[in-house]
Structure 1
């Protein structure tokens, strides 16, 4: 029998219902597809980043570009006693000005900023890493809910992110599956604490993407409205 998460999966314990302020635009499906990026992050920038061996969603390495304290660290902000917000740029930001300018240009409070390098994996392998994110640990109830955005840095038209909502038991509901295509420049914003997610990447080469945490706020809402695909 193929793997499928059960009630013992660590994601099930991550809270779904809280008092945090959230964005109406994500209320129905938990995801908004944005217009393809109108800028290019040069290969010379994202390949020059310092990557760390950190596994999440498959055979992955991550380059921390903004972290809890500016150190090159892939651990959650909670290890430093912080919410995934109010991040500090790392030395990696110095070699990736296109990424830094893009994130700063959103104008919203951001947390971890990372480039991901994902090695190829088929759907059966990917499902084993299906998970939800613990984005809001230590986040005060009267502040904004943390969500995540992606920008695809390499062209992987046969790859896709699986997104699934929860069933009555808090497990992924296969009937809600959405597939987000991962061609170069693809951008999307996801409530990854709500939605189960993982990437299927059948290509022969590494996939690179930018992942950024943002706090839900009027500023982020305005940015999404301007950047959403028509």
Structure 2
């Protein structure tokens, strides 16, 4: 492996241990696999959106479906003085009613909702973008910890989400590596502020997925329990 993050990586400074309310289902490994997407999503709901040239985790473009102020903006909510919660639907939401209904149906407070378009990248290239997310900036200590969910919209069974927990030095621990396969309809929830993560996309065309920030709490915990897969990764 030609790249490995060092203590100078910006992720190392992101807080890990806080008093925020967490979801028990994520305590052990930091992620949970859900059953496959129960609803068929028309391809027009991701192909017809307005995308922005925004890089995160590789050669990516993003289509914001909900943002801090309802504008087509990929920046962190902290740029608007907000935690990644209490999002407003953008104009893209009108083109993606199935996805909007899906997010609303979770019943938890949500922040950023967006479609990621990721170009192919092998493991070596992907590792250059491994990181942890700064999901909880400005989040009051007595509120719920923000995590992220994924729904795979295209079929990429040879691609996977690479996850690693932290070692004692605060860097990814290879002994904790998990791989979440990305066939169409795959769903999972990840504490991306805790886990180092990146997608290894071994396909020959772009991969599309829905990414949503959700606030941890009874609503999210209940929804996860109702959607759990029978087998784990």
The separation in 2 between residues aligned to 1:52 and 1:24, in whole angstroms, is 35
CA-to-partner distance for each residue in 1:121-147, whole Å, 9 max, x for gaps?
000000000000000000000000000
The separation in 1 between residues aligned to 2:83 and 2:152, in whole angstroms, is 25
The separation in 2 between residues aligned to 1:25 and 1:153, in whole angstroms, is 24
For residue 93 of structure 1, what is the aligned residue in structure 2?
A: 93
The separation in 2 between residues aligned to 1:141 and 1:182, in whole angstroms, is 34
- 1:75 aligned to 2:75? yes
Residue 24 of structure 1, CA deviation: 1.1
CA-to-partner distance for each residue in 1:35-88, whole Å, 9 max, x for gaps?
000111111111001000000000000000000000000000000000000000
The separation in 2 between residues aligned to 1:8 and 1:118, in whole angstroms, is 26
The separation in 2 between residues aligned to 1:40 and 1:60, in whole angstroms, is 24
Query: What SS does structure 2 have at the residue aligned with 1:12?
Result: helix
Residue 159 of structure 1, CA deviation: 0.2
- 1:193 aligned to 2:223? no
The separation in 2 between residues aligned to 1:158 and 1:42, in whole angstroms, is 22
For residue 41 of structure 1, what is the aligned residue in structure 2?
A: 41
For residue 203 of structure 1, what is the aligned residue in structure 2?
A: 203
In the TM superposition, 1:74-223 aligns within 5 A as 74-223=74-223
Residue 23 of structure 1, CA deviation: 1.0
The separation in 2 between residues aligned to 1:146 and 1:79, in whole angstroms, is 17
- 1:11 aligned to 2:15? no
Task: Give unmatched runs, 5+ long, in structure 2.
Answer: none
TM-score (norm. length: structure 2): 0.98
Aligned length: 230
The separation in 1 between residues aligned to 2:167 and 2:225, in whole angstroms, is 29
Give the alignment's Cα RMSD to 1 decimal: 0.6
Residue 100 of structure 1, CA deviation: 0.2
The separation in 2 between residues aligned to 1:34 and 1:112, in whole angstroms, is 20
Residue 200 of structure 1, CA deviation: 0.3
Divergent runs of 4+, >3 A: none
The separation in 1 between residues aligned to 2:112 and 2:88, in whole angstroms, is 9
CA-to-partner distance for each residue in 1:170-229, whole Å, 9 max, x for gaps?
100011000000000000000000000000001100000000000001010000000010
For residue 64 of structure 1, what is the aligned residue in structure 2?
A: 64
TM-score (norm. length: structure 1): 0.99
The separation in 1 between residues aligned to 2:23 and 2:201, in whole angstroms, is 30
